Structure 1
Amino acid sequence: MGPLQEALAVVGVVIIAAVLGFNGWQSWQLRRRRARVERDDRVERGEPGGGETFAVTAPQDRVEPGLDDEAQASGADAPPEPTAEAARPRATAPRIDPLIDAIACFVFEQPVPGEALQQRLPRTARAGTKPLLFEGRNAHSGVWESLQPGERYAELQAAVQMASRSGALNAIEYSEFVTKCHALGEALGVAPDLPDMAEVLEQARELDGFAAGNDAQLSINLQAQGVAWGLDFLRQQAQGCGFTTHLAAGRMALVESYAEDAEGQGEPRRYAVVQLQFDAHAELADDPAMPVARATLLLDVPQVAPGLRPFARMREAARQLAQALGARQVDDNGAPLSPAALDQIELQLQQLYASLEARGLGAGTPAAQRLFA
């Protein structure tokens, strides 16, 4: 490593240390302010003082003007305060999931209107490459949900995803999340309850390692024998095999709805069970006779519920389409794919499904779809 590279490395370390130090100092200052106000309040009420407590509510004089005004304008009586048992431990929200998210919490003294919270959220819901999610615990139903105008919330969660196919959450991304949480806390008059950075980054690295070892995208290639197919002919045959949904240029999908539970109850979800990919430039050329010599059937394993039998569906679609097109089924290197080879892949696929399920990240679940995106 040359002198310039060493200097740049030292500068990078100093910047990261400064960011972490500032965030820690900011969090410490918020906690000190809140503890001081709480002690003063206890003295005024004649109650015994205590040590510093970590922020869950904010003193009244720190609430930004407008929150209480909006609550009073609703004309609704405030619901009773939730008990500690009801608030902790927090139930898994429909979107935020502690299996893949680091979660910060804001607890309000009085329920806050959803529109007031929406107005104070960060402009960009990302920290580096990682998405941020925000949900509130409905003061009436007690259910965690996406923030809705007209509803009031006793608690707010902010979450940053700890890993994705782009890699694990890093220190700079987590520091950006912390900074946005502190800014949101200042706007709401509530100090955030944040998870420890070292623990979050360790969880992120472990989750990323698990995801890397349990990710799979399976493909079957169809290779023209002799004369290439016309683009229009390829699309017609694909539609006949169930690929009726166009995702983008050169991409079609076999889409199906599926109810998650065994009784088939609840809201069914739609899955792109198998995708068909071919030359996007041919489709963009808008020439129905444009020759295409190769097409690929793709199964993104963690994205599709195993109850849809996606690999079996892909094998059958490949067989039908190969017969209709007069094509050979080959692997990525152009070698023929035999039924015995596909049978072996299916056995390995069952092991992968079991590993994902054991982690609580079954293929096709919302958390798995976010992790493997």
Structure 2
Amino acid sequence: MGQLQQALLVVGALIIAAVVAFNLWQSWQLRRRRPRSEGAGPLMGDEPGTAAGRDVQREPGLDGEPQYVEPQLASAEPTRLRPPALRIDPLIDAIASFMFEQPVPGESLLSRMPRIARVGTKPLLFEGRNAQSGLWETLQPSERYAELQAGVQLASRSGALNAIEYSEFVTKCHALGEALGSSPDLPDMADVLEQARDLDSFAAANDAQLSINLQAHGVAWGVDYLRQQAQAVGFNTSLAAGRLALVEQFPAEAAADGSDVGRLIPLVQLHYDSLADFAENPEMPVSRATLLLDVPQVPQALQPFARMRDAARRLAQGLDARQVDDNGAPLSPAALDQIEQQLTQLYAALDERGLQAGTLTTQRLFS
């Protein structure tokens, strides 16, 4: 390596270090001296991730592609399901706060939000404390707010929040604070990154997507026939081309605060060749389909793995298909029984962390 290249590498490293140091200094300088008002949300939460991405735990013989699909659900009927309003949660978000001397109209706040509500791969969420009710809520143009908070998700399946992403969050918060005339109260970078790594490590150890493949014995199925058999088993919601879902309501007994009760979620997905959905021929042959369960996305109370096994059994009978793994080897009931027992431990670990499977917070973390 030449002297010029070495010099450029040194200069680049110094610039990155200078940016991080400047953001830390600026955050310290602009930190509010007054205490947070009563009713304000926690300053930050525990969340994880790894910049290189998280390896998802998979059970032997089972595999599947993790997808966070709920916000895009579309019913097989003409109706569409409304996406849920995501809320900031200190369990998985680092939170910056903005206090106002006088309540600010929601319309004014919305007009000053960052154009891109994300830093790197991590989404940003914004909430206001309603000046009249005192409750935190998604910003509404017709309401007035005494306080604003911005949350950055600390981890997802793409990895943990890293120093560069957090520095971008700090920069966006300072720009927003300047536009609003209120300096942001920001959590310490070192604390946030430590929490992100810890939560990401936990999530990686308690993540699983399970799949059961259906393979035609001999003659392939026509795509229309496959869809008819799937609908007879309960797959009546279309997620996308080649993707159907068995949808259920979030059970009341699994909701910690009632906010999730009645929300529709995909219990089990059915994937097949997406090109078959675009073909003009209703007899377009399909010889393989996959049932997928994204474990952290579905409440344990719905018994999703047992439901997937039952759906696979019924579909296999209707389609004259074999239940196999990705290598084409038969899946035995004994192997599936063992996996079902292991899932009990996974659900218990999520519950202990306060991340019950199927809640919006958990779905965000495992997406």
TM-score in terms of structure 1 length: 0.81
In structure 2, which of residues 315, 333, 336 is the aligned counterpart of residue 342 of structure 1? Answer: 336
Q: Distance in 2 between matches of 1:324 and 1:89?
A: 52
Deviation at 1:176? Answer: 0.5
Q: Distance in 1 between matches of 2:28 and 2:94?
A: 20
Deviation at 1:262? Answer: 6.5
* Code of the aligned partner of 1:261: E
Q: Which residue of 1 aligns with 2:79?
A: none
Deviation at 1:94? Answer: 6.8
- Mapped pair 1:22 → 2:16: no
Deviation at 1:283? Answer: 1.9
Worse-matched range after superposition: 213-222 or 259-268: 259-268
Counterparts of 1:241-280 in structure 2, within 5 Å, are: 241-261=233-253, 267-280=261-274
SS in 1 for 2:266: strand
SS in 1 for 2:252: coil
Q: Which residue of 2 aligns with 1:107?
A: 99
Structure 1 stretches lacking a partner, 5+ long: 32-53, 58-82
Worse-matched range after superposition: 260-269 or 331-340: 260-269
Q: Is this contact kept in 2: 1:220–1:297, CA < 8 A?
A: yes
Q: Distance in 2 between matches of 1:295 and 1:262?
A: 30
Q: Is this contact kept in 2: 1:219–1:296, CA < 8 A?
A: yes
Taking a change above 3 Å as real, the CA distance of residues 208 and 12 of structure 1, as seen in their structure-2 partners, is: farther
Deviation at 1:311? Answer: 0.7
Q: Which residue of 1 aligns with 2:138?
A: 146
Structure 2 stretches lacking a partner, 5+ long: 46-84
SS in 1 for 2:267: strand
Q: Which residue of 2 aligns with 1:166?
A: 158
CA deviation string 1:342-364 (max 9, x = no partner): 11010001110000111111100
Identity over the aligned pairs, expressed in percent?
72
In structure 1, which of residues 338, 353, 364 is the aligned counterpart of residue 347 of structure 2? Answer: 353
Q: Distance in 2 between matches of 1:230 and 1:242?
A: 19
Q: Distance in 1 between matches of 2:138 and 2:214?
A: 43
Q: Distance in 2 between matches of 1:370 and 1:11?
A: 38
Deviation at 1:334? Answer: 1.3
SS in 2 for 1:211: helix
Counterparts of 1:1-373 in structure 2, within 5 Å, are: 10-30=10-30, 54-55=32-33, 84-87=37-40, 95-261=87-253, 267-373=261-367
Structure holding more helix per residue: 1
Q: Is this contact kept in 2: 1:106–1:192, CA < 8 A?
A: yes
Taking a change above 3 Å as real, the CA distance of residues 220 and 360 of structure 1, as seen in their structure-2 partners, is: same
* Code of the aligned partner of 2:266: A
Taking a change above 3 Å as real, the CA distance of residues 86 and 251 of structure 1, as seen in their structure-2 partners, is: closer
Q: Distance in 2 between matches of 1:99 and 1:150?
A: 29
Deviation at 1:226? Answer: 1.3
Q: Distance in 1 between matches of 2:44 and 2:273?
A: 46
Taking a change above 3 Å as real, the CA distance of residues 294 and 130 of structure 1, as seen in their structure-2 partners, is: same
CA deviation string 1:249-280 (max 9, x = no partner): 11000011123337997641101000000111
Taking a change above 3 Å as real, the CA distance of residues 263 and 120 of structure 1, as seen in their structure-2 partners, is: closer
Deviation at 1:8? Answer: 6.7
Q: Distance in 1 between matches of 2:41 and 2:222?
A: 61
* Code of the aligned partner of 1:341: A
Aligned residues: 326
Q: Distance in 2 between matches of 1:365 and 1:208?
A: 18
CA deviation string 1:181-212 (max 9, x = no partner): 00011011111000000111111111111111
- Which has the larger Rg? 1
Q: Distance in 2 between matches of 1:160 and 1:250?
A: 33
Deviation at 1:28? Answer: 4.7
Q: Is this contact kept in 2: 1:56–1:108, CA < 8 A?
A: no
* Code of the aligned partner of 2:13: V
Taking a change above 3 Å as real, the CA distance of residues 11 and 346 of structure 1, as seen in their structure-2 partners, is: farther
TM-score in terms of structure 2 length: 0.83
Deviation at 1:23? Answer: 1.6
Taking a change above 3 Å as real, the CA distance of residues 228 and 87 of structure 1, as seen in their structure-2 partners, is: closer
Deviation at 1:286? Answer: 3.1
Q: Distance in 2 between matches of 1:330 and 1:214?
A: 24
Deviation at 1:308? Answer: 1.2
Q: Distance in 2 between matches of 1:171 and 1:310?
A: 37
Taking a change above 3 Å as real, the CA distance of residues 369 and 281 of structure 1, as seen in their structure-2 partners, is: same
Taking a change above 3 Å as real, the CA distance of residues 242 and 7 of structure 1, as seen in their structure-2 partners, is: farther
Taking a change above 3 Å as real, the CA distance of residues 5 and 286 of structure 1, as seen in their structure-2 partners, is: farther
Q: Distance in 2 between matches of 1:178 and 1:263?
A: 33
Q: Which residue of 2 aligns with 1:50?
A: none
Q: Is this contact kept in 1: 2:30–2:185, CA < 8 A?
A: no
